[in-house]
Amino acid sequence: MQELTRKKYHQKLTSAEKVAQMVKSGDRIFFGEFVLRPEAIDHALAQRAHEFQDVLIEGVCITKVPQFIEADPYREHFIYNDWHFSSVSRKLYQQGLCSYIPLTYHQGPRIVRKYKTYDYVFVSARPMDAQGYFNFGLVNSITSAAITKAKNVVVEINKSLPHCLGGNQESVHISRVDYIVEGRNAPLQEIRPPTPTEIDMQIAQHIMKEIEDGACLQLGIGGLPNVIGSMIAESDLKDLGVHTEMLVDSMVDLYNKGKITGNNKTIDRFKMVYTFAMGTKKLYEFLHNNSACASYPVNYVNDPRAIGMNAKVVAINNALEIDLFSQVCSESVGISQISGTGGQFDFIMGAFYSRGGKGIIGLSSTFTDKDGTVHSRIVPTLRPGSIVTIPRSIVQYVATEYGIVQLKGMPTWERAEALISIAHPMFRDELSAQAREMKIWLDRKR
């Protein structure tokens, strides 16, 4: 069997240049996720950019500008769509070089299987193992779904990838692969967590009061999740579990401190479950052949029903703005796309399903614009064009540096009161007056 798979490997082995020559105008391509960009194929496509018209390429949260976009600065040859915006995608969007695909993350694989067809799927993977499998490494997400809808599956080998255990669908067998490219084995891009601010630390102190022994954690990237991870590491909390869309460096620290055991989880007991990982070399080395971790497609990891099966889920997410009706915007500033829905909706809902679960939105009470003017992030109504990421019917906990409030089951006037109580003091009177004007404030006789 091993001899047969080796023979198949050499039959399917080709170059990035030959793959690029197969692509024709009008083709639809799925082009990897997060830090796993097929570098050699990217370069080969860029070299032929001027030969194409309307080649549609889709990816998930690119972390550096693809060469094919650099070779097409006026979007004359490639149309690039992203399922979630990184800071790189955002800048490309502002230049008219990238469009956003609205997505509730756990539905991604189903959307692909129902509505997408790709001429090519380009996937980064580890070298083939003795059984004929290519491991996807850091990313599971929607890759396996894209492969099921591809006319041609192309695997680009990167020896730098860690071997990440499943789970499910963390690998693809050579029998399902059409072409193999031995890539450049580029070192993995490292995404370092931002330095937490003093306000992040204040918000984290309020959130820490809501985390109990045996909690099942979802932490994302950013200053706030990073400082919460640090605080947990120095706390007396124990027997924590992990069921998270994104595995990050802070989880490694918690595991090494003995805080994470997974002993109290209901599903995937003792496993740190995730759908993609992104961070530094510390994280990538931790994941390599680590039986404590399990990679799954996002339709499992982010399914609110699966999330809710574990008790005491604590899901912590960031937001840009929340209005007095308790609508949360986490992905745009007015009409300008900043991020995406991602898995925030999934985990806020899933945490509510969890026995003792808590879905928490954390945000600073204010921000300062480029002119130095301070604005409240708690506002009467979302600014025109802003995207509602979490509807008021779904929002549960909201935390700022001034406290944390739980909104489920509250009428609109109580929600407004609660949110105003954690707004910056300099804006509270103004927000109260605006709540009365909008008739969501209950003026009770004293």
The residues annotated with a catalytic role in the active site are 245
Q: Quick one: the chain helix, strand, coil %, rounded to 5? A: 30, 25, 45
Q: Distance from first CA to last CA of the chain, Å, rounded?
A: 83
- Give the residue carrying structure tokens 């189903």: 110
What gap in Å lies between CA 165 and CA 8, rounded to an integer?
24
CB 108 within 8 A of CB 126: no
**308 with 354: CB under 8 angstroms?**
yes
Residue whose structure tokens are 């997974």? 262
β-bridge partners, 295? 166, 274
Find the largest Cα–Cα distance for the chain: 86
Count CB-CB contacts under 10 A for residue 426: 11
Output the six-digit token pair for 155: 């695997």
Decide if 361 contacts 419 (C-beta within 8 A): no
Q: How many CB atoms lie within 10 A of CB 292?
A: 15
Would you say 65 and 88 are in contact if contact means Cβ atoms under 8 Å apart? Answer: yes
What whole-number distance in Å separates Cα of residue 314 and Cα of residue 356? 9
222: left (phi over 0), alpha (psi -120 to 50) or beta: left
Q: Quick check: 332 and 389 in contact, CB under 8 A?
A: no
**Using CA of residue 131, residue 132, residue 138, residue 141, what is the dihedral sign?**
negative
DSSP characters over 7-52 = HHHHHHEE-HHHHHHH--TT-EEEEEETTB--HHHHHHHHHTGGG-
> Does residue 69 contact residue 93 with C-beta atoms inside 8 Å?
no
At 340, list the tokens: 């995406």
Burial of 114 (0-12, 13-18, 19+ CB in 10 A): exposed
